[in-house]
Chain A
Amino acid sequence: MRRVSKTAVSGVGKDVIAPAKVIAGSEPSLEQTFHAVAVSGARRLYSLALSILRDEGEAEDAVQETLLKAWRSWDSVSRMERPAGWLTRVCVNHCISRRRHLRSRGWPPLALIDEVARNAVGSPSADLIDMDRAYRRLSLKQRAAITLNYRHGYSIEECAVLMGCRPGTVRTHVARGLATLRKELGDA
């Protein structure tokens, strides 16, 4: 049984009637390596993006953007010594630039965050909410530097490569970020 193609849609070009046939083939190796390296690391990238962005939707978008960029260049990325490091760098840079874009438009307003935090005080996770509120006071690069250095265990030099800045700048971001956290949490 077969089916005719529909009448040509204006501006689309001519129709093609392609006979159906079973293809006995295996998946391309590029796709296999992509799934093995990039897609399997998606959850790690999501945690990283969420740590920097503090927004689930934005973090998911950041991971998908990272995967999309990776896929477009996978032919060359897959030949790198550490493709996972490349993915991390792209994800961090996307988070920083994306958040900068949102911040330039005043979103999210800190007043809204404060309101949410006030309403949540008294819940079992009040300590976490305090921490989250303090953390949101940090700049993007401060969050990225602390997350990469403190949580993910990258050295200052590695953080500098991932963030595209000098090691001294990373040290400054970490120190100022921690100082802000101490101040906001009343530990200073």
Chain B
Amino acid sequence: MLDLDPRLDARLRSFYEHIEQQAPTRDVGEFVAVPVRPRRRTLPLLAGVAGVAVVAAGIGLFVTELSGHHAVKPPAPASHSPGQRTSLPSASQLTLGIPSISHTVIGVTHGHGTATLPTFTPQGMIFIELSCAGSTGFNLYSPNHAVGLSGGCDGSPSPSLAGFFVPANASLTGRPLTLTMTADSSTIWEIVVADVGPIPPLPTLGGSSLPAGAHVLVPVTYGVGTSQLETFVPSGPYFVEYACAGSGTINFTTFDGPASWVSAECAHGAVGMQETAKPASPGPINFTVKTMPPRTLWEVMVFEVTAPKS
């Protein structure tokens, strides 16, 4: 124990008690494993890379000049390294799957392995965009089972990108929600979560609006931006029921049959139904929904009406 005079002892004790009363301005225990490279290393790293590049260029130039004095050889074929460095999509790429009419509740968060994300309270339908790279899959769940998603990272060093939405329901809306990402420690991932809010952004398609004899070819499918529906095989002309929300336009294209049709403004929540012409040839239809700007939210279903058999 230190041998201190009483005056300094009292002042030091008071000083340390004052320090220990100070609470951190943010919850330092709210820990999310985010592998952020310390900023101070960036410049030395860049300088190092630039230096190595300069030296390598010099050596290459020297070798080229030297080889010019000897027999001319064919250039070496370009090689593609199988072990390319993995990099996840940028924040702007990741948020392309988040509708513009939503607000972000968990910003773009990077991590690896298992981590618990900050708690938020959903007010409506939520959108989750995530990307991962690694040899195994991921699980994203909430302790109350309101959210349970899983997927694979495809065993590829290249990152996969996936989008999910969780419809508003009583067990989700208005209740604090904590999402936990579990993955192998070697799996890197990034995630962003957005909430559309309390007002349902899109109407319910199908149901009573479908005519008698309707046969659904593509069930109600949500999307953000330009996406391709699953292929379908109609027996004749088919119908597309759609709705969209957000500023911008939506249009449909196919490579089979009519090339392009329907172009609607989404600013006021366009809702419509369109009958197509007869496909040019039998077989599967590749159907693409395009929006401009990219973060427009839409829903589409495809059906055909089969004539009653006589």
Chain A positions within 8 Å of B, measured between CB atoms, are: 1-9, 12-18, 20-25, 27-28, 30-31, 38-40, 42-43, 45-47, 50-51, 56-57, 59-60, 63-64, 67-68, 71-72, 75, 101, 125, 127-128, 131-132, 135, 146-147, 149-151, 174, 178, 181-182, 185, 187
**Shortest distance between the CB of B25 and any CB in chain A (Å):** 6
B33 and A68 contacting across the interface, CB-CB below 8 Å: yes
Top 6 A-B pairs ranked by shortest CB distance? Answer: A18-B151, A13-B158, A22-B148, A42-B29, A3-B222, A23-B148
Q: How far is the CA of A64 from the CA of B25 in the complex (A)?
A: 13
Chain B, interface size category, equals: 35 or more
User: A13-B156, A64-B28, A71-B31 are known contacts. Are A18 and B22 too (CB-CB below 8 A)?
Assistant: no
Task: Tell me which of B114, B160, B162, B228 contacts A7 (CB under 8 A).
Answer: B228
Given contacts A1-B167, A178-B8, contact A60 B31 (CB under 8 A): no
Whether B159 lies near A13 (C-beta < 8 A) is yes
Do most interface residues of chain B lie in helix, strand or loop, or is the interface mixed? mixed
- Nearest to B16 among chain A residues (CB) is A151
B139 surroundings in chain A (CB, below 8 A):
23, 25
Tell whether B131 is near chain A: CB-to-CB under 8 Å.
yes
How many angstroms from the CA of A128 to the CA of B16 in the assembled complex?
10
The minimal Cβ–Cβ distance linking B5 to chain A, given in whole angstroms, is 7
Contacts beyond the supplied A2-B219, A59-B24, A63-B28: 19 A-B pairs with Cβ under 8 Å: A1-B220, A3-B165, A4-B222, A4-B230, A9-B161, A13-B160, A15-B160, A15-B162, A18-B162, A21-B150, A39-B29, A47-B20, A56-B25, A60-B28, A67-B28, A101-B40, A128-B15, A132-B15, A151-B16
- Please determine whether A17 and B29 come into contact, CB atoms closer than 8 angstroms: no
**Cβ of A16 and Cβ of B152 under 8 Å apart?**
yes
Complex alpha-carbon distance, A64 and B34, angstroms: 10
Expressed in whole angstroms, the minimum distance between the Cβ of B117 and any Cβ of chain A is 13
Contact of B16 among A21, A27, A51 (CB under 8 A): A51
Q: Do B150 and A4 touch across chains, with their CB atoms under 8 A apart?
A: no
Residues in B with CB closer than 8 Å to A178 are 2, 4, 8
Distance A71 CA – B33 CA, assembled complex (angstroms): 7
Judging by beta carbons under 8 Å apart, are A23 and B150 in contact? yes
Contacts of A39 in B (CB 8 A): 29, 31
Tell me if B33 and A56 are in contact (CB < 8 A): no
**B: which residues have CB within 8 A of A?**
2, 4-5, 7-8, 11-12, 14-16, 18-20, 22-26, 28-29, 31, 33-35, 40, 89, 93, 96-97, 113-114, 116, 131, 139, 141, 143, 145, 148-152, 154, 156, 158-167, 180, 182, 185, 219-230
Q: How far is the CB of A41 from chain B (nearest CB, A)?
A: 9
Residue in A12, A147, A181 whose CB lies within 8 Å of B93: A12
A51-B16, A51-B19, A60-B26 as given contacts; A12 in contact with B163, CB under 8 Å:
no
Question: Do A174 and B2 have beta carbons less than 8 Å apart?
Answer: yes
Q: Cα distance A47–B167 when bound, in Å?
A: 43
- Can you spell out 6 A-B residue pairs with CB atoms less than 8 angstroms apart? A9-B161, A15-B162, A25-B139, A50-B22, A178-B2, A178-B4
The minimal Cβ–Cβ distance linking A79 to chain B, given in whole angstroms, is 15
The residue that B149 contacts in the complex, of A12, A21, A125, with Cβ under 8 A, is: A21
A127 interface neighbour in B14, B116, B167, Cβ under 8 Å: B14
CB–CB A64/B31 < 8 A:
yes
A46 touches B164 (CB 8 A): no
Find out whether the CB atom of A2 lies under 8 angstroms from the CB atom of B222: yes
Chain B contacts of A13 at CB under 8 A?
154, 156, 158-161
In the bound complex, how far is the Cα of B13 from the Cα of A131, in angstroms?
Answer: 11
CA of A56 to CA of B21 in the docked complex: distance in angstroms? 12
